[in-house]
């Protein structure tokens, strides 16, 4: 009973925090999401034999408490916080239905999800799958109807989910620490930029380019991996760091590419000069002064995908983009699962566990690590191509070290080696970065300008300084860092860890448990 | 079956094997005894392709092995139960055994070999879903040998299977080695425990600071005064 109340309060407040920032209709969306999440969490501690109806009824009390907390926070936001931030509270005709649907939605979906746990295993899994599919499909439409406009930012989060999935192959499965993953993201994006933009007057179809980007990223994974993967552990990390730093600099400077055919330009004239011959040969220049990447100003506009019935994807309509990235994620997850469960996946894990032992089993370590590197890179090609088309323009600064680190954070936070964990990690980190922090910034700014600062001091210079620094976006890397430190201290295996990595990190506890069992 | 001709191996500047020559015939148990640092494990690692000989040849059925990478050597039919066991601690017993069959693709054969391992080591079957790292020392040694069996080798290299085990367990492990040999696997056994090794081997070599100083049948080696003094602890 105590655990249930704790869960209800946590969930109610968690949803409340988000609603606190966004206000308006967000209460509805959050209510439903939290409901599903709560239903899933309750599942861990129920008695399956009770059957769906009893479980649903049992969950009602928890859901009810959570909903009350949640709506209380929502109303507090609307009538106290919003006016303090200089905004008008939402009108009653929005407040009443939004909170009503949100609260009831939370209770309904908690009960529904909790009831699923009472079904036989296969039906339970099917039910959860259907629920997820419905939510994923319904999200952009609800988002549009309620006017929240989260889809555009959620798409960014989903791009990073693909990057996380790719890096998870390298870091999570094969155990190779890669600090330069953004390099492959850049290669995917620049391949797309070069092959479908006015920069070179090449306008290839997006549906073709995305595969070329995938292949290019994989190819560069091989090229960068071949010399570096002979190194182990820390050394590999340092070299990948270097490769990652090189990429944006290379793309920044490929503005004047000239390729001359060596035989006619240097070798033959050189020989001629040896014999003091003045006979002139014609130097064949293959590429002359080509501006490949347009340097700092980047390539734009980049071609967009086109589909019959939908037409060309537009920036003001995120729905087709949303479904495209969802499809790409599904494809990636499908492929990555096949890889993980196959021969190659076992070889990756053996190399991660103990490379010397893996060699004695007949595993070729270089081949194994190289495929992990190349396949991991390939998925970032997907992400890069989508990103380039979605933004319509690419710039070298996007692909710097910080991007590699964010992707690494996603993998570590979500749970190394676990596909679902990485998806959740991507949504949490990028959701925080793209949605949560900007909203927090607006809220703080409103509060500062209208309530706190006037009450605090009348000195205008001081007011301006405080207002400027009360911007959480300035501290985003600090916050990421803090999150990582806290995660490493409290739950180093990530939110949803893979069974093996959990065992790795808690090996001492496990052995001591076994020792205890033996003694008894 | 397996033949080493004048094999020299170095660790950097250290000359670890100084022209080792030996043969193992099909169906034999051959043991190499020697003290710490004599080069026993180096020899097995050289045969297995983990270390490269600087000079000399290693022949399996007349084919040279010394240029092949280790994973190819496993495919040729040599597998090893390495020194210190080196099992995968975070994988289950089942997964560890599956890793042993990594180079094989014949599903039916692999299933048969699972049965073979479990028949020889019923203990492993009881612990099939337990993590390798949580097994006891003796069970880990069984797992290391079982894992080497899963490659269905023609010749198995065993590196100090007695290390860190109680005398009773050592006895059990050596009984299974004999059983394994009776079922047709050729065995090259490297041991510090010379008494046990010579009691089951057909022939033995004595390795001292990287050189073979003596080789003979086990029975004769046991009688040899030098062996008795240095390796069997007789006064």
Please tell me the total count of domains within chain B.
1
pLDDT (tens digit, 9 = 90+) per residue, A23-55?
A: 777 888 888 888 888 888 776 666 667 777 777
Residues in chain A closer than 8 A to B90 (CB atoms): 353, 500, 503-504, 507
d(CA A45, CA B136): 33
pLDDT (tens digit, 9 = 90+) per residue, B108-163?
A: 999 999 999 999 899 999 999 999 888 988 899 989 999 999 999 999 999 998 88
What CATH number is attached to the domain comprising B46? 3.40.50.300
Residues in chain A closer than 8 A to B134 (CB atoms): 510-511, 514
pLDDT at A187 over 50: yes
Here the tokens at position A28 are: 């509805």
Domain membership flag for residue B120: yes
**Per-residue pLDDT at A518:** 47
Q: Inspect the interface and report whether the beta carbons of A360 and B74 lie closer than 8 Å.
A: yes
pLDDT at A311 over 90: no
> Mean pLDDT throughout A326-341?
94
Burial of B5: CB neighbours in 10 Å, binned 0-12, 13-18, 19+: middle
Closest chain B residue to A506 measured between Cα atoms?
B90
What DSSP state is assigned to residue A392?
S
- Torsion region of B216: left, alpha or beta (phi above 0 gives left; psi -120 to 50 gives alpha): beta
Place of tokens 């002064």: A289
d(CA B231, CA B234): 8
Query: Best of A346, A358, A362 to disrupt the B interface by mutation (most B CBs within 10 Å)?
Result: A362
* Helix, strand, coil percentages for chain A (3-state, nearest 5): 75, 5, 20
> Mean pLDDT throughout A425-452?
86
Domain membership flag for residue B94: yes
Distance from CA of B232 to the nearest CA of A (A): 31
Domain membership flag for residue B176: yes
d(CA A247, CA A504): 34
pLDDT bucket at A509, cuts 50 / 70 / 90: low
Place of tokens 């990478």: B69
Q: Inspect the interface and report whether the beta carbons of A362 and B86 lie closer than 8 Å.
A: no
Q: Per this entry, what is the length of chain A? A: 520
Say whether A283 sits in a helix, a strand or coil. Answer: coil
Closest chain A residue to B75 measured between Cα atoms?
A362
d(CA A238, CA A124): 46
Domain membership flag for residue B30: yes
Whole-Å CA distances, A89 to A184, A443, A457, B80: 46, 13, 26, 74
d(CA A135, CA A154): 14
> Mean pLDDT throughout A380-386?
93
**Per-residue pLDDT at A149:** 84
Here the tokens at position B38 are: 């004599």
Q: Inspect the interface and report whether the beta carbons of B151 and A362 lie closer than 8 Å.
A: yes
pLDDT (tens digit, 9 = 90+) per residue, B187-211?
A: 999 988 888 899 999 999 999 999 9
Q: Which of A68-72, A160-164, A178-182, B123-127 has the lowest mean pLDDT?
A: A68-72
Here the tokens at position A58 are: 């049992």
Closest chain A residue to B157 measured between Cα atoms?
A360
pLDDT bucket at A256, cuts 50 / 70 / 90: confident
What DSSP state is assigned to residue A295?
G
pLDDT at A520 over 50: no
pLDDT at A457 over 80: no
Domain membership flag for residue B8: yes
Q: Domain range holding B98?
A: 2-230
Domain membership flag for residue B235: no
Sequence-ordered alpha helix ranges (H) in A23-91: 26-43, 51-76, 82-84
The pLDDT mean for chain A works out to: 84
């Amino acid at each position: 009973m105590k655990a249930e109340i704790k869960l209800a309060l946590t969930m109610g407040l968690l949803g409340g925090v988000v609603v606190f920032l966004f206000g308006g209709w967000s209460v509805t969306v959050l209510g439903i999401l939290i409901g599903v999440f709560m239903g899933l969490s309750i599942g861990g501690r129920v008695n399956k034999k009770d059957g769906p109806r009893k479980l649903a009824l049992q969950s009602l009390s928890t859901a009810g408490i959570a909903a009350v907390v949640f709506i209380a926070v929502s109303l507090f936001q609307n009538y106290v916080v919003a006016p303090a931030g200089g905004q008008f509270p939402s009108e009653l005709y929005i407040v009443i239905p939004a909170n009503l649907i949100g609260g009831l939605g939370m209770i309904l979906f908690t009960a529904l999800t909790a009831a699923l746990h009472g079904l036989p295993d296969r039906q339970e899994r099917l039910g959860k799958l259907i629920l997820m599919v419905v939510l994923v499909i319904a999200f952009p439409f609800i988002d549009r109807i309620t006017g929240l406009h989260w889809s555009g930012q959620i798409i960014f989060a989903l791009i990073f989910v693909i990057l996380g999935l790719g890096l998870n192959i390298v870091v999570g499965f094969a155990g190779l620490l890669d600090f330069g993953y953004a390099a492959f993201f850049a290669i995917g994006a620049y391949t797309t930029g070069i092959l479908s933009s006015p920069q070179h007057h090449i306008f290839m179809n997006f549906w073709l380019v995305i595969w070329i980007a995938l292949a290019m990223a994989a190819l560069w994974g091989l090229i960068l991996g071949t010399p570096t993967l002979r190194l182990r552990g820390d050394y590999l990390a340092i070299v990948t760091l270097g490769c990652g730093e090189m990429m944006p600099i290379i793309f920044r400077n490929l503005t004047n590419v000239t390729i001359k055919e060596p035989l006619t330009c240097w070798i033959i004239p050189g020989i001629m000069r040896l014999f003091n011959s003045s006979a002139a040969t014609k130097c064949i220049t293959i590429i002359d002064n080509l501006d490949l990447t347009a340097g700092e100003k980047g390539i734009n506009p980049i071609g967009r995908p086109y589909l019959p019935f939908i037409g060309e994807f537009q920036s003001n309509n995120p729905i087709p983009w949303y479904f495209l990235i969802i499809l790409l994620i599904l494809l990636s997850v499908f492929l990555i699962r096949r890889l993980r469960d196959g021969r190659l996946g076992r070889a990756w894990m053996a190399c991660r566990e103990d490379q010397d032992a893996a060699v004695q089993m007949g595993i070729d370590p270089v081949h194994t690590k190289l495929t992990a590197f190349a396949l991991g890179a390939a998925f970032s090609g997907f992400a890069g191509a989508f990103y380039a088309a979605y933004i319509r323009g690419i710039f070298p600064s996007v692909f710097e070290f910080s991007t590699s680190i964010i992707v690494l954070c996603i993998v570590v936070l979500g749970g190394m080696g676990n596909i679902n964990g990485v998806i959740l990690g991507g949504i949490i980190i990028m959701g925080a970065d793209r949605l949560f922090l900007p909203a927090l910034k607006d809220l703080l700014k409103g509060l500062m300008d209208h309530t706190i600062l006037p009450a605090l001091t009348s000195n205008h210079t001081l007011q301006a300084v405080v207002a400027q620094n009360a911007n959480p976006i300035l501290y985003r890397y600090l916050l990421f860092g803090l999150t990582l430190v806290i995660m490493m201290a409290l739950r180093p295996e990530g939110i949803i860890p893979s069974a093996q990595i959990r065992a790795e990190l808690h090996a001492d506890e496990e052995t001591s448990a076994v020792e205890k069992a033996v003694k008894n | 079956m397996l033949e080493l001709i004048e094999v020299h191996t170095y660790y950097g500047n250290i000359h670890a094997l100084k022209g080792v020559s030996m043969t193992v015939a099909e169906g034999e148990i051959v043991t190499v005894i020697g003290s710490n640092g004599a080069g026993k494990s180096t020899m097995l690692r050289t045969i297995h392709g983990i270390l490269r000989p600087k000079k000399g040849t290693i022949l399996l059925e007349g084919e040279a092995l010394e240029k092949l990478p280790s994973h190819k050597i496993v495919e040729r039919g040599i597998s090893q139960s390495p020194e210190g066991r080196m099992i995968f601690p975070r994988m289950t017993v089942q997964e560890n055994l599956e890793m042993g069959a990594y180079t094989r693709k014949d599903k039916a054969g692999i299933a048969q070999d699972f049965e073979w391992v479990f028949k020889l080591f019923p203990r492993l079957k009881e612990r099939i879903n337990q993590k390798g790292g949580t097994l006891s020392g003796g069970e880990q040694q069984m797992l290391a040998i079982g894992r080497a069996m899963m490659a269905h080798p023609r010749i198995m290299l065993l590196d100090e299977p007695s290390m860190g085990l109680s005398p009773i367990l050592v006895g059990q492990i050596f009984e299974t080695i004999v059983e394994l040999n009776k079922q047709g696997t050729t065995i090259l056994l490297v041991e510090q425990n010379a008494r046990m090794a010579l009691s089951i081997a057909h022939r033995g070599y004595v390795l001292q600071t990287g050189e073979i100083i003596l080789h003979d049948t086990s029975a004769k080696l046991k009688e040899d005064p030098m062996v008795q003094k240095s390796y069997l602890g007789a006064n």
